[in-house]
Copies of this chain bind each other. A is one copy, B any other.
Amino acid sequence: MTWNRSHLLDLQSLSVAELTAILDTARAFKAINERSIKRVPPLRGKTVVNLFVEPSTRTRISFELAALRLSADVINFSAEASSLKKGETLRDTVRNLESLNADIIILRHGASGAPHYLARFARAHIINAGDGAHEHPTQGLLDTFTIRERKGRVAGLNVTILGDILYSRVARSNIWALLKLGANVTLCGPPTLVPKVFERFGCRVIWDLQEALKDADVVNLLRIQHERQRVTMFPSLGEYTALFGLNQARMKWVKPDALIMHPGPINRGVELEGDIADGAQSVILEQVTNGLAVRMAVLFLVNGGKAAELN
């Protein structure tokens, strides 16, 4: 076992051995989640705080369930109605939570680097649940877990990530994990959302959808965040769908055994046609299931758990 970190801040700084340690531990937890009684004791008597300064129901629930199934006490602390609104600094909020003996703080924050900042002084374990456009490490891990489980390996696979790469923390965390584990990563989307600069990370950048899809073993479609102000980046949602939406006609360009992935929530008919989301190649709901297992593994490992303790 090679995990010795007390935080999970990003995937960029993890070694291949550390990434593999999480993925292997998650496999054990996935089996636990399939049991009729889905509770194990590793975090009994521990306090886990979901500190979500940016709202997110699905990630919060996934972490909350992960913590509950490890028998932790879970507190939800959302930005609304919180002392952060009364002018308290994030540092003071976290120090207060630590003074309440919080053992693990799961942070979702709009500012890139917020969890790294906390980790410089925090005694609690910090888990990054998404920081600005920087990273969303558990999403990168669950996507990688899903690919590895379905394809038996990551090394040598062609993974195409499609959509709004520029501001996507999901894309960044995927890129780091996939490149470290030896995949070939292709990024595709409108040039305004997929700048050439990503080639410096070691990715291939192409703006032609057919070219991006044709050799892919995995197609990971990012959500078009139409509720945010992205109007300057492409003319309209309809335009995006017309040029880059994945539909049945374009599925002919995709290999019949390629996996279709999406971090959710899906905009059916925008970046992805509903039939494909529900189709045989889609592993979208498996990603959700695997996310729970990955988050249990991360909570377990940052708290000092050793894989040998499981089963």
Contact = CB atoms under 8 A, between A and B. Distances in A.
Nearest to A102: B65
Contact of A38 (B77, B101, B268): B101
Contacts of A85: 227
A48 to B, nearest CB: 11
Contact of A265 (B77, B88, B98): B88
B99 A286 contact: yes
10 contacts: A61-B97, A65-B73, A80-B81, A83-B264, A87-B267, A89-B268, A92-B268, A95-B285, A96-B264, A98-B285
Contacts of A227: 85-87
B68 A100 contact: no
A47 B260 CA distance: 28
B47 A99 contact: no
B101 A292 contact: yes
Contacts of A35: 45
A62 B47 CA distance: 12
Nearest to A292: B100
Interface string A89-132: 10011011111110000000000000000000000000000000
A38 B45 contact: yes
Interface in A2-25: none
A73 B64 CA distance: 10
Interface string A58-90: 100110110011000101011011110111110
Given A36-B45, A264-B92, A75 B64 contact: yes
A113 B232 CA distance: 40
A266 interface: yes
Contacts of A99: 285-286, 288-289
A311 interface: no
A123 to B, nearest CB: 11
Given A100-B62, A285-B95, A57 B83 contact: yes
Given A37-B45, A88-B264, A96-B285, A82 B57 contact: yes
B38 A47 contact: yes
Interface string A27-71: 000000111111100001111000000010110011011001100
B288 A92 contact: no
Contact of A61 (B37, B100, B265): B100
A225 to B, nearest CB: 8
Nearest to A289: B99
Nearest to A269: B87
Contacts of A92: 264-266, 268
Interface string A263-301: 011111000000000000000011011001000000000
